[in-house]
């Protein structure tokens, strides 16, 4: 017997109809059914009109009573092997009968199988990544259902929870990540969750090796006062590494860090000189500490402010001396470059490769006076010293002695200025004046230049004169200058004349006085002006009145050059005025004779004999003049003048 080809669903329906022909009541279910699906149950009898109530059972328990609906829906069935049936009651020939369907076991198919967790490596190297994949699949009839996945290590969820992708990436696996891994798969609708079996992953750790310590500092130099960075690294090693840093001679470690890295650094702030030494580090990742090689840490410190000292061969630096300028800083890492300055001009530079100070020699000239300083620099910053003044002292040169007035001959009574001056020499300069080997006096020139000494000449002052100069650097003496004194000065002549006149007046007595008074009256009657003032004299040299004939004397030759012992003076004088109110002249007549030829009186001069007349100009004293001024005028305002012969009283 052959049957036409039918689909599986159609075949099931036909079978149910066939059974229906045999049984009065049957229970039908939708087909196919996957876990999580909703299932429609139909309880059908041969004569639906005779059925009053339908009762549905699952595993012999009532799940629904229905009077009108043809379909009862079961939501999200599972694969629990439940059995379903239904019952109803009917009347047949006034007899109530209960009909029962045969049990129906719904074949619920698995929506997706339990997932399987697969790892890219079950023994990954520590620090390497691992990929996890949760594998499962949906039947073609339910391929539209969306699945989600979740991954676990032991009981801890990895990541953020449910994800749409069946793969999960662990970027870095560490030793403590070893354990059992599993996953879950979930159908969004219906809500069906299935989990995989556990999968063991054991992370392999690599011991640390080749531990190295290096120093890092700003600018590549380890400078005192700056931060020191010590970097400890390993060439190999996985997992959590414990780094520690140490300095020889110190039991206490400098620092410790635990981290998952191949290197770590320790920063020491503001290192000082005591931080220098030998450093090392260690690394350990549970296999025992491995030590690095030791490295020496040497600090470079900036230079301190240098000190400049000037060393001279004597207390006072002198031109020609060689002075040593020494510049030295008390601290600072070598090499150190020093520069020397005079004011703002660089004299030179010198390097100290091993530290310490340096010197610079300078041969002094007069231009080297001023302020000196130096600079120290070791590339960590320059420092300048304080300025040190240096005064270069110049020894005095040979002084020059001069006379003032500077004429060929001076005479007794003159006021002579001796001037001594050195053309070179640092002040103060002490000058002194010598007559032969006798010191006349000394004087100081605090600001340099020369000095003078005034000398009122006497007959003892002829001879050789010299002067000396000294500013503490050695005595210099001038050349000798000879002074020749000749006779008496005009001032002395006047003094002698006045003295002789006084003596003669005292000897002649009243007779000489009467003769003089008579002579004065005769002068007034003859038209002479009224005489005022007193005799005066000058310390300056005078000259004789001009006389005609070859007997005139040399105008440069003093009158006192005539020997006083060869003449006998018999003077007659009177005060006369040449017509000026402020001038008074003392007129003195003097004549001389030998013993064999006595001198005639003034009134009995021979006709061709001319008297020698000397005038002294004296300024009158006014009533309103002060006393000091009058004395000053009387002492200073005079002049000896030659006069032409006056007519004698006949």
User: Which of the listed residues 252, 282, 300 is the one where a domain comes to its end?
Assistant: 300
Shared domain check, 90 and 48: yes
Residue 642 falls within a domain, yes or no?
A: no
What are the residues whose beta carbons fall under 8 Å from the beta carbon of 555, sequence distance 6 or more? 543
**Residue 509 placed within a domain:** no
Handedness of CA 552, 556, 559, 563 (dihedral sign): negative
> What pLDDT shows up at residue 275?
85
* Confidence band of 10 (pLDDT split at 50, 70, 90): low
Which range among 197-211, 404-418, 547-561 has the greatest average pLDDT?
Answer: 197-211
pLDDT per residue as tens digits for the range 256-281? 999 988 999 999 888 888 888 899 99
Average the pLDDT over each of 149-158, 215-224, 228-237 and give the range with the smallest value.
215-224
Question: pLDDT-derived band of residue 545, with 50, 70 and 90 as boundaries?
Answer: very low
The answer to whether residues 132 and 176 belong to one domain is: yes
Task: Tell me what pLDDT residue 554 has.
Answer: 38
Domain interval for residue 465: 399-483
Work out whether the CA dihedral 73, 76, 77, 80 comes out positive or negative.
negative
Which pLDDT score is estimated for 161? Answer: 92
CB 373 within 8 A of CB 386: yes
User: In this structure, are residues 466 and 389 in contact, taking their beta carbons and an 8 Å threshold?
Assistant: no
> Has residue 294 been placed in a domain?
yes
Q: Which of 50, 83, 109 is the last residue of a domain?
A: 109
User: Can you read off the two tokens belonging to residue 510?
Assistant: 């009243």
- Angstrom distance (rounded) from CA 487 to CA 459: 8
Residues in the chain: 650
Same domain, 166 and 128: yes
Residues 219 and 194 occupy one common structural domain: no
For 620-639, what is the mean pLDDT? 42
Whether residue 353 has pLDDT greater than 60 = yes
Inter-residue contact 233 to 257 (CB < 8 Å): no
Q: Is 2 helix (H, G, I), strand (E, B) or coil?
A: coil
Which of 30-39, 194-203, 356-365 has the weakest average pLDDT?
Answer: 30-39
**Range name among 182-196, 407-421, 473-487, 572-586 with the lowest pLDDT average:** 572-586
Predicted pLDDT of residue 429: 94
Q: Are residues 334 and 404 both part of a single domain? A: no
- Average pLDDT for residues 353-371, to the nearest whole number? 92
How buried is 400 (Cβ within 10 angstroms: 0-12 exposed, 13-18 middle, 19+ buried)? middle
Q: How confident is the model at residue 218 (pLDDT cuts 50, 70, 90)?
A: low
The pLDDT value given to residue 597: 41
Query: CA–CA separation, 396 vs 399, rounded Å?
Result: 8
Residue 18 has what pLDDT? 53
Could you read off the pLDDT of 184-200 as tens digits, one per residue? 999 988 889 999 999 99
- Per-chain mean pLDDT for the chain: 77
What's the rounded Cα separation, in Å, for the pair 611 and 571?
10
CA distance 91 to 299: 115
Answer whether residue 243 shows pLDDT above 90.
yes
H or E element in which residue 519 lies: helix 510-525
Q: For the ranges 213-222, 242-251, 566-575, which has the lowest average pLDDT?
A: 566-575
- Which of 483, 498, 529 delimits the end of a domain? 483
Residue 340 lies in a domain: yes
The CB-side HSE value for 418 (13 A sphere, CA atoms) comes to 28
Percent of the chain residues past pLDDT 90, beyond the cut: 43
246 and 226 part of one domain: yes
Of residues 202 and 590, more confidence is placed in: 202
492 vs 483: CA distance, rounded Å:
19
Tell me, what's the pLDDT at 648? 34
Two structure tokens written together for 463: 């001879």
Which CATH number goes with the domain that contains 383? 2.60.40.10
Q: Is the pLDDT of residue 101 over 70?
A: yes
pLDDT at position 311 is 92
Whether the predicted pLDDT of 220 surpasses 90: no
Q: Place 565 in a pLDDT band, splitting at 50, 70 and 90.
A: very low
For residue 258, what is the enclosing H or E element? strand 255-259
Kindly state whether residue 197 falls inside one of the protein's structural domains. Answer: yes
Say yes or no: 316 and 342 in one domain. Answer: yes
Q: Is 535 exposed, middle or buried (0-12, 13-18, 19+ CB in 10 A)?
A: middle
- 476 pLDDT more than 70: yes
Residue 647: inside a domain: no
pLDDT higher than threshold 70 for residue 558:
no
Rounded to an integer, the average pLDDT of 436-464 is 91
Residue 227 lies inside a defined structural domain of this protein:
yes
Q: What share of the chain is helix, strand, coil (3-state, %, to 5)?
A: 15, 40, 45
Higher pLDDT, 485 or 599: 485
Reply yes or no on whether the pLDDT at 316 is more than 90. Answer: no
Cα gap 129→112, rounded to integer Å: 29
Same domain assignment for residues 335 and 296: no
Residue 188 and residue 131 share a domain: yes
- How many independent structural domains does the chain possess? 5
Is the pLDDT assigned to residue 308 strictly greater than 70?
Answer: yes
DSSP collapsed to 3 states, 81-100: CCEEEEEEEEEECCEEEEEE
| Whether residue 145 sits in one domain with residue 75 | no
- Which residue has better confidence, 175 or 134? 134
Specify the DSSP class assigned to residue 628.
H
Distance CA 300, CA 226 (A): 10
The token duo for 30 is 């939708």
Please tell me whether residues 101 and 125 are part of one structural domain: no
Of 46-55, 109-118, 568-577, give the lowest mean pLDDT range: 568-577
Model confidence at 14, pLDDT cuts 50, 70, 90, reads: low
Q: What is the mean pLDDT of residues 350-354?
A: 93
The rounded distance, in Å, linking the Cα atoms of 159 and 139 is 29
Is residue 182 reached through a cis peptide bond, with omega within 30 degrees of 0 on the bond before it?
no
Binned at pLDDT 50, 70 and 90, residue 45 comes out as: confident
Give yes or no: residues 30 and 49 share one domain. Answer: yes
Q: Which residues pair with 382 in a beta bridge?
A: 377
CB-based contacts of 259, cutoff 8 Å, min separation 6: 240, 241, 243
Do 632 and 530 touch, CB atoms closer than 8 A?
Answer: no
Closest CA to 466 of 445, 430, 439: 439
pLDDT at 55 over 60: yes
- Mean pLDDT of the region 379-400: 92
166-175, 214-223, 338-347: least confident range: 214-223
Beta bridge partners of 392: none
Residue 95 lies in a domain: yes
pLDDT at 414 over 70: yes
Instruction: Tell which wins on pLDDT, 290 or 568.
Output: 290
């Amino acid at each position: 017997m052959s049957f036409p080809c039918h689909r599986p669903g159609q075949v099931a329906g036909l079978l149910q109809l066939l059974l229906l022909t045999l049984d009065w009541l049957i229970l039908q279910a939708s087909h196919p059914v996957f876990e999580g699906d909703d299932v429609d149950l139909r309880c059908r009898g041969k004569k639906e009109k005779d059925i009053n109530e339908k009762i549905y059972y699952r595993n012999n328990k009532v799940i629904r009573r229905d009077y009108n609906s043809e379909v009862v829906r079961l939501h999200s069935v599972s694969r629990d092997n439940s059995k379903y049936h239904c019952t109803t009651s009917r009347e047949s020939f006034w007899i109530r009968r209960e009909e029962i369907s045969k049990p129906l076991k719904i074949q619920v198919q698995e929506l997706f199988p339990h997932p399987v967790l697969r790892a890219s490596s079950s023994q990954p190297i520590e620090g390497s990544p691992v990929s996890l994949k949760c594998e499962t699949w949906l039947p073609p009839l339910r391929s539209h259902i969306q699945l989600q996945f979740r991954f676990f290590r032991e009981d801890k969820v990895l990541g953020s929870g449910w994800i749409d992708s069946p793969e999960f990436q662990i970027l870095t696996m560490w030793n403590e990540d070893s354990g059992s891994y599993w996953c879950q798969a979930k159908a969004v609708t219906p809500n069906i969750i299935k989990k995989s079996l556990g999968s063991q992953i054991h992370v392999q750790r690599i011991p640390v090796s080749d531990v190295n310590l290096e120093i890092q500092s700003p600018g590549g130099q380890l400078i005192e006062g700056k931060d020191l960075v010590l970097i400890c690294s390993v060439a190999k090693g996985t997992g959590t590494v414990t780094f520690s840093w140490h300095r020889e001679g110190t039991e206490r470690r400098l620092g410790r860090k635990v981290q998952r890295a191949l290197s770590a650094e320790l920063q020491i702030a503001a290192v000082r000189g005591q931080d220098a030494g030998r450093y090392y580090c260690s690394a350990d990742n549970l296999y025992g500490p491995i030590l690095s090689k030791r490295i020496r840490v040497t600090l470079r410190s900036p230079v301190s402010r240098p000190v400049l000292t000037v060393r001279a061969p004597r207390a006072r630096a002198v031109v020609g001396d060689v002075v040593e300028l020494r510049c030295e800083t008390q601290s600072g890492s070598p090499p150190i470059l020093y520069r020397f300055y005079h004011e703002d001009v660089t004299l030179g530079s010198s390097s100290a490769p091993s530290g310490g100070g340096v010197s610079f020699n300078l041969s002094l000239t007069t231009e080297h006076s001023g302020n000196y300083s130096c600079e120290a620099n070791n590339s960590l910053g320059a420092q300048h010293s304080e300025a040190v003044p240096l005064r270069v002292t110049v020894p005095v040169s040979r002084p020059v002695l001069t006379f003032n007035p500077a004429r060929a001959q001076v005479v007794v009574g003159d006021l002579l200025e001796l001037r001594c001056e050195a053309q070179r020499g640092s002040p103060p300069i002490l000058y002194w004046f010598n007559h032969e080997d006798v010191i006349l006096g000394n004087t100081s020139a605090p600001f340099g230049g020369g000095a003078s000494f005034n000398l009122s000449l006497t007959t003892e002052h002829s001879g050789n004169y010299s002067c000396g100069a000294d500013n503490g650097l050695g005595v210099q003496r001038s050349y000798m200058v000879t002074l020749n004194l000749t006779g008496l000065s005009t001032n002395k002549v006047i003094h002698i004349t006045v003295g002789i006149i006084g003596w003669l007046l005292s000897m002649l007595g009243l007779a000489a006085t009467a003769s003089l008074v008579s002579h004065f009256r005769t002068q007034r009657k003859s038209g002479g002006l009224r005489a005022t003032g007193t005799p005066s004299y000058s310390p300056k040299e005078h000259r004789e009145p001009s006389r005609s004939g070859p007997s005139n004397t040399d105008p440069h030759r003093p009158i006192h050059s005539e020997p006083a012992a060869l003449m006998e003076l018999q003077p007659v004088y009177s005060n006369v005025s040449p017509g000026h109110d402020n001038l008074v002249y003392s007129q003195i007549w003097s004549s001389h004779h030998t013993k064999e030829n006595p001198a005639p009186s003034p009134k009995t001069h021979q006709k061709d004999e001319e008297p020698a007349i000397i005038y002294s100009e004296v300024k009158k004293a006014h009533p309103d003049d002060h006393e000091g001024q009058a004395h000053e005028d009387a002492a200073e305002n005079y002049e000896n003048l030659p006069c032409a012969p006056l007519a004698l009283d006949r």
